[in-house]
Amino acid sequence: MKALGFLALGLAATLFGLERPRELSALASPSAVLRGSFEQVKILKGFTRPLRSRGRFTVLRDKGVLWRIEKPFASGVCVDGRGLWQVVEGPGGLRRTALQRGDMGPVLGLLQTLLTGERAALVQAFELVEKEAPAGTWRLELIPRDAVLRRVISRVELQGAERVQRVAWDESNGDRSVIRFGNFQESAMPTPDEAGAFGD
């Protein structure tokens, strides 16, 4: 639901790199496919240790996001216009099964507005606050406007230089996640595996 809308924002803003917070309209990537690696640390209330994961992601412009965890275990999900999918390695490549069917319209809609550089979509979902940052970098705080979403996620922080390098989000119950991105790579076509994960 709305939480998924947040995903789109987090990932898209992350992956397509906010060059400067004031110029969100300049963040669109010219390529159809963007890949990279991620490392996530989650600090959960009631857990003695932080949960760490890493893996690779793929963003297909106008299509959706594929997120593959490699460590500590292999697991993947894909979100696109038709739903949220669990992606698993099969004998003939990646295979997907529905976690949640249906129109993810607002999600992909938000993602696309970001990709086409429409600041309006971001602004209407989040309150944007620009924070101080070292020279050559920027920091942006996003507060959800949606009352229900705000009960789940209290704030998001994006940080980067040429691209987004770090996303941190605070959940309302005190949980906190930080994701770092790297090894960006752009291409014109998805690999057959990636295409399979998107159901093509």
Q: Does 154 contact other proteins by CB under 8 A? A: no
| Of residues 54, 26, 5, 6, the one with CA closest to residue 182 | 54
Q: Which two tokens stand for residue 67?
A: 């997120």
Q: Does 165 contact other proteins by CB under 8 A? A: no
Element (H, E) at 172: none
Q: Does 105 contact other proteins by CB under 8 A? A: yes
Q: Which two tokens stand for residue 191?
A: 């690999």
The C-alpha atoms of residue 167 and residue 149 are separated, in whole angstroms, by 18
Which one among 19, 141, 157, 171 touches other proteins, defined by CB under 8 A? 171
Look at residue 168 and give its three-state secondary structure. Answer: strand
Pairing of strands 153-160, 138-144: antiparallel
Number of residues that bind other proteins (CB under 8 A): 62
Q: Does 109 contact other proteins by CB under 8 A? A: yes
Chain residues in the site for other proteins (CB under 8 A): 1-8, 10-11, 40, 42, 44-49, 51, 53, 65, 67, 69, 72-73, 75, 77, 79, 82, 84, 86, 98-103, 105-106, 109-110, 113, 118, 120-121, 123-125, 145-148, 151-153, 169, 171-173, 175, 177, 179
